[in-house]
A and B are shown apart, each in its own frame.
Chain A
């Protein structure tokens, strides 16, 4: 009936998309888990990471690894500056104020980088720092960039789990996420913890930007909007604030999108992904892996 190798190829396509979303979703969910902020600017940090990579590879002619590390460093710096200038002053303000500010930062980054004397609005070809090799396994194509994304995403996941559950800073992060003020009373320097959280999340976003740009070799100032949105949906789907949930949600979104496009209709692929989200939320309101929070009265 259905050609098995065709199905398998589409599943692999879905996996690729899923892991790409996971790259971004991990940072999103971590920041939300600790500070309860939907960092709308996350997708734009991702964009900056990609542009820094563009600069490193095409102008400075660096190798893959130095480029990605440099990108992460730049993203960390940008994120910490944003956090200090725009988010920190609003820590005691209503949550929505920080959210609106995040939206403002996102817009600012997009429109500012599209100015002529910054990056300019033209989409640019992203130079791949290494040749992509394709292998044929039983009628299915798999290529090296897919494998790299897979490996890096799993490594990021492992790293995050390690940091959050096995380091002192991680313990501090969990404390802050549980109760901000009590954490302060316990002697945790919340400023450092928050900045560290942002830095870590943004470093991941920067790495994600470079890998994304290698997989889909084009950069433009608005490239972060859609991936950021889908990654956020994926994080919510899996249970926002739960790190493995981000991966799970992202993989589901990727499969939903690709399989819908391949077997149902391409026009509705995005709509189906969102519909799945709504249905899941109706059944499990805190996401697939989410824990039902207790309402303290």
Chain B
């Protein structure tokens, strides 16, 4: 009955363990170890944006602000209190996610009722305000460093942490999406008026999706902070939000598999170009990638995986009832 999902989960866990072994053996060198972890962290963050925009249809251009909030919040926890205690790290990650979620909730209250493009601009503005706050943060919390950067964050993130977080992120998101709450979230994207006519509380589900997406971003930010050990406000500017949006759209709106593949592919593509290009034209990396982006959009405007999912992420089968409303969308 649920063997498809269980098998996939099993495969994922075994795969993660294999990767861990390869890393410990040195077959995967620290460089690729770093890149693989970064790719998974980015995946978690963009899954969050996929929930907000892909599934719920809310155009958010400020997602990286929540990523940053999670990063700084968790870094403050470990730097000021828990040090290199693993349980403390777990607490820091959760704090990071919660801070991002709470801020998301607060800012969502006023702005989520704006229509699509206006919401985009409002979130962009909010993201900008957050970045300026980070730049000036050392005036209130000297530890945060402001534009000098926050140094000395204990390097706690390792592949087991990232792998577990990533697998949990996917599993939880899948379960939420295919629950009745998830269907409500989707309905808001499809047609707000019709959903409202069916009795769905639009405001509530917009908030739910937004807060969940921000929580994911916060978790990812916390993992990021403890992997790179250094935070600078320029890591969390508007252009990074655009990068995340690109990944979600490229992967296909509302497709979890698409987001995962796009996030992984994106990271590896950019690093791959770094490796392949000779030094005289290293700056071509950022000429090639927008061209590829444009071509991808022209060829597959719905995104690489628009509307499609891997089998284990598809909707669960339900027996057809007499007046069969097929719940598979």
Looking at A19-27, A60-68, A164-172, A280-288, the stretch in contact with chain B turns out to be A280-288
**Nearest-CB residue, chain B, relative to A275:** B129
Take A90-B301, A277-B122 as given contacts and tell me if A100 and B293 are in contact as well, using a CB distance cutoff of 8 Å: yes
* A233 CB–B CB distance under 8 Å: yes
In the complex, are the beta carbons of B287 and A112 less than 8 A apart?
yes
* B278 CB–A CB distance under 8 Å: no
Give complex CA distance A285, B192 in Å: 17
A interface majority secondary structure:
helix
Looking at B35-43, B109-117, B168-176, B210-218, the stretch in contact with chain A turns out to be B109-117
Instruction: Kindly identify which residue among B128, B289, B302 contacts A97, using a CB–CB cutoff of 8 Å.
Output: B302
* A155 CB–B CB distance under 8 Å: no
In the complex, are the beta carbons of A281 and B122 less than 8 A apart?
yes
Looking at A9-17, A146-154, A264-272, the stretch in contact with chain B turns out to be A264-272
**Residues in A whose Cβ lies below 8 Å from that of B198:** none
In the complex, are the beta carbons of A285 and B253 less than 8 A apart?
no
In the complex, are the beta carbons of A271 and B294 less than 8 A apart?
no
* A105 CB–B CB distance under 8 Å: yes
In the complex, are the beta carbons of A94 and B114 less than 8 A apart?
no
B interface size (C-beta, 8 A): 42
In the complex, are the beta carbons of A86 and B298 less than 8 A apart?
yes
In the complex, are the beta carbons of B114 and A277 less than 8 A apart?
no
The digit string for B47-65, where 1 denotes a CB below 8 A from any CB of A, is 0000000000001000000
Give complex CA distance A36, B286 in Å: 28
B308 CB to closest chain A CB, in angstroms? 15
The digit string for B112-134, where 1 denotes a CB below 8 A from any CB of A, is 01110110111011101100110
* B209 CB–A CB distance under 8 Å: no
**Residues in A whose Cβ lies below 8 Å from that of B302:** 93-94, 97
B178 CB to closest chain A CB, in angstroms? 23
Residue among B113, B114, B287 with the highest chain A CB neighbour number at 10 A: B287
* B290 CB–A CB distance under 8 Å: yes
Take A108-B290, A111-B290, A278-B110 as given contacts and tell me if A271 and B128 are in contact as well, using a CB distance cutoff of 8 Å: yes
* B205 CB–A CB distance under 8 Å: no
In the complex, are the beta carbons of A100 and B287 less than 8 A apart?
no
The digit string for B98-112, where 1 denotes a CB below 8 A from any CB of A, is 000000000000110
Looking at B20-28, B149-157, B242-250, the stretch in contact with chain A turns out to be B242-250
Give complex CA distance A93, B301 in Å: 6
The digit string for A154-183, where 1 denotes a CB below 8 A from any CB of B, is 000000000000000000000000000000
* B193 CB–A CB distance under 8 Å: yes
Give complex CA distance A8, B129 in Å: 28
* B238 CB–A CB distance under 8 Å: yes
* A297 CB–B CB distance under 8 Å: yes
* B297 CB–A CB distance under 8 Å: yes
Give complex CA distance A88, B107 in Å: 36
The digit string for B282-307, where 1 denotes a CB below 8 A from any CB of A, is 01101101110110011001110000
**Residues in B whose Cβ lies below 8 Å from that of A115:** 283-284, 287
**Nearest-CB residue, chain B, relative to A105:** B294
A232 CB to closest chain B CB, in angstroms? 7
Take A38-B117, A278-B110 as given contacts and tell me if A89 and B298 are in contact as well, using a CB distance cutoff of 8 Å: yes
* B136 CB–A CB distance under 8 Å: yes
The A-B contact count (CB < 8 A) is 115
Take A94-B302, A100-B250 as given contacts and tell me if A268 and B294 are in contact as well, using a CB distance cutoff of 8 Å: no
A99 CB to closest chain B CB, in angstroms? 8
Take A103-B242, A267-B136, A286-B118 as given contacts and tell me if A94 and B283 are in contact as well, using a CB distance cutoff of 8 Å: no
B57 CB to closest chain A CB, in angstroms? 10
Instruction: Kindly identify which residue among B110, B117, B136 contacts A282, using a CB–CB cutoff of 8 Å.
Output: B110
In the complex, are the beta carbons of B291 and A104 less than 8 A apart?
yes
The digit string for A43-78, where 1 denotes a CB below 8 A from any CB of B, is 000000000000000000000000000000000000
**Residues in B whose Cβ lies below 8 Å from that of A86:** 294, 298
**Residues in A whose Cβ lies below 8 Å from that of B242:** 103
In the complex, are the beta carbons of A270 and B122 less than 8 A apart?
no
**Residues in B whose Cβ lies below 8 Å from that of A97:** 249, 297, 301-303
Instruction: Kindly identify which residue among A100, A111, A297 contacts B286, using a CB–CB cutoff of 8 Å.
Output: A111
In the complex, are the beta carbons of B111 and A111 less than 8 A apart?
no
**Residues in B whose Cβ lies below 8 Å from that of A268:** 132, 136
**Residues in B whose Cβ lies below 8 Å from that of A232:** 121
Instruction: Kindly identify which residue among B126, B136, B293, B298 contacts A278, using a CB–CB cutoff of 8 Å.
Output: B126
Which residues in window 226-255 of A have CB below 8 A to B? Answer: 229, 232-233, 236, 240
Given A285-B118, A297-B193, 14 other A-B residues pairs in contact with their CB atoms under 8 A: A38-B117, A90-B298, A94-B253, A100-B297, A103-B293, A104-B290, A104-B291, A236-B118, A267-B135, A267-B136, A271-B129, A278-B110, A278-B125, A282-B114
Could you list some 14 contacts between A and B, CB below 8 A? A90-B298, A94-B253, A97-B301, A97-B302, A100-B246, A100-B249, A104-B294, A108-B290, A111-B287, A233-B125, A240-B118, A267-B136, A274-B125, A278-B111
6 A-B pairs with least C-beta separation: A93-B301, A274-B125, A97-B301, A107-B290, A104-B293, A108-B290
